[in-house]
Amino acid sequence: MRVLVVGSGGREHALCWALAASPLLTALFAAPGNPGIAGLATCAPIAATDIAALVAYAQANAIDLVFPGPEAPLAAGLADAMDAAGIPCCGPTAAAARLESSKAFTKTICDEAGIPTAAWERFDSAAAARDFVRRRGAPIVVKADGLAAGKGVVVAATEADALAAIDTIMTDRSLGEAGASVVIEECLVGEEISFFALCDGTNAIPLGVAQDHKRVGDGDTGPNTGGMGAYSPVAAFPPTADAAIMDRIIRPALAAMAARGTPFRGILFAGLMLTADGAKLIEFNVRFGDPECQVLLLRLKSDLLAALLAACEGELAQFDLRWHDHAAIAVVLAARGYPNAPERGSELRGLDAAAAQPGVHVFHAGTARDAAGRLVAAGGRVANVCATGPDLATARARAYAAIAAIDWPEGFYRQDIGART
């Protein structure tokens, strides 16, 4: 099989690493890829959202399967375009990708399908939103309804904080028109986890659970990021809990999407809060998480490519995956200034020495080669130092020992990934 991976982050490097191990693989391509991926795949300089160029490239290279990493190409119709060209693509159509691109759509699906989620209401007027907050009290969550690049959510501990958030988002329009209306939600309390399932439109199989660390600083401080580290398995979520999430959240969502004529194929990522009343959905994403993907794939024993093919062929009902018992961790190395203004261009040394340590894998994210061939920072999240071990403490110690072998004074990382358990 000739496979094309779309994207350029640590998630896509890990996907290429797992696909490269498949006995079914004959040739691996990535668009646009990164210098780490270039060691495993032929990289084409095509942007992940350039749908027409990706289809032309897949046709020219006789690609048998496309796997998109990020959500943007899916929301832009990559899977629809590949379907039209007769090329199997393991990702949702744009219509099915609305599970990530629209908060209100997801809440509607939850209501239709009886999926447990935070109680919510949407308001177009600041006065009505303020009244609601005064009636409900704190804690409470205020969200800009539109896309706000992760800046639109305020988890308000006090009524005053919630009222201030309404003023900032709706009256001052701090996020522009994304704040023309707000969604106000019940505040869920508990451990937050990322649950993944592989879906074929009708059937789904669990792909594991990881815990992300979204804040930039140690102790969950500072601004939200794409994710500063992850680990799996998660002690707060025993493997026996998979079945309940599949039955109460994943399969009802699949059934609702199929009933609308927009069946969901690909990776369904449920952001869950493990509350005292059971798991509740915070949000869906229509792709693997980054860096969650890295730790899940380090635990997968079965052939990833065979599973993706089965999803494209509607054959997941008969499919089963095997997992290693070991723990896996990913620590993100980020460029100073991330997430607001990461500094680019500084040289990274010692990645190979780190990767040579026992149980350690280094995945590239925002790296590039400069004119002299040096490896330099070219993004916010620059590399992932990952490790496996018989337990999380061992995996964690291995990852941090490997980081010590890396010479990159312009970078930083969280010291406490996986430490809370």
- Nearer to ligand GLY by Cβ, of 36 and 229: the residue is 229
Q: Does 118 bind ligand AMP (CB under 6 A)?
A: yes
Q: Which stretch binds ligand AMP (CB under 6 A): 88-96, 187-195, 367-375, 399-407?
A: 187-195
What is the dihedral angle through the alpha carbons of 25, 27, 32, 36, rounded to the nearest 10 degrees?
Answer: 80
Chain-centroid distance of CA 101 in Å reads 13
Q: Given the complex with ligand AMP, which of 42 and 224 has the nearer CB atom?
A: 224
Closer CB to ligand AMP, residue 153 or residue 295?
153
* Beta bridge partner(s), residue 268: 197
Interface with ligand GLY (CB under 6 A), residue from 80, 100, 242, 292: 292
- What residue 258 binds from ligand GLY, ligand AMP, none (CB within 5 to 8 A, per partner kind)? none
Find the binder of ligand GLY among 22, 93, 211, 285 (CB under 6 A): 285
160-167 contacts: CB < 8 A, separation 24 or more? Answer: 162/133, 162/138, 163/130, 163/133, 163/134, 166/126, 166/129, 166/130, 166/133, 166/142, 167/126
SS3 385: strand
**Considering CB distances under 5 to 8 angstroms, the limit depending on partner class, which of ligand AMP, ligand GLY, none binds residue 192?**
ligand AMP
Which of 69, 227, 342, 379 is the binder for ligand GLY (CB under 6 A)?
A: 227
List the single partner that 155 binds among ligand GLY, ligand AMP, none, CB under 5 to 8 Å by kind: ligand AMP
Size of the site for ligand GLY (CB under 6 A): 7
Window 379 to 418, contacts with ligand AMP (CB under 6 A): none
Pairing of strands 65-68, 2-7: parallel
Give me the least distance between CB of 173 and ligand AMP, in Å please.
Answer: 19
Asked if 257 interacts with ligand AMP (CB under 6 A), we say no
Pick from 68, 289, 342, 411 the residue near ligand GLY by CB under 6 A: 289
**Collapsing DSSP states into helix, strand and coil, what is residue 244?**
helix
Task: Calculate the alpha carbon distances from 363 to 3, 35, 138, 346, 407 in Å.
Answer: 19, 10, 41, 18, 16
Of the candidates 300, 297, 294, the one whose C-alpha atom is nearest the C-alpha of residue 323 is 300
What is the DSSP code string of 17-82? Answer: HHHHT-TT-SEEEEEE--TTGGGTSEE----TT-HHHHHHHHHHTT-SEEEE-SSHHHHTTHHHHH
- Among the listed residues 90, 282, 300, 386, the single contact to ligand AMP using CB under 6 A: 282
Q: Minimum distance between the CB of residue 283 and ligand GLY, rounded to whole angstroms? A: 9
Q: Please report, as ranges, the residues that interact with ligand AMP according to CB under 6 A.
A: 118, 141, 153, 155, 185-188, 192, 214, 271, 282-283
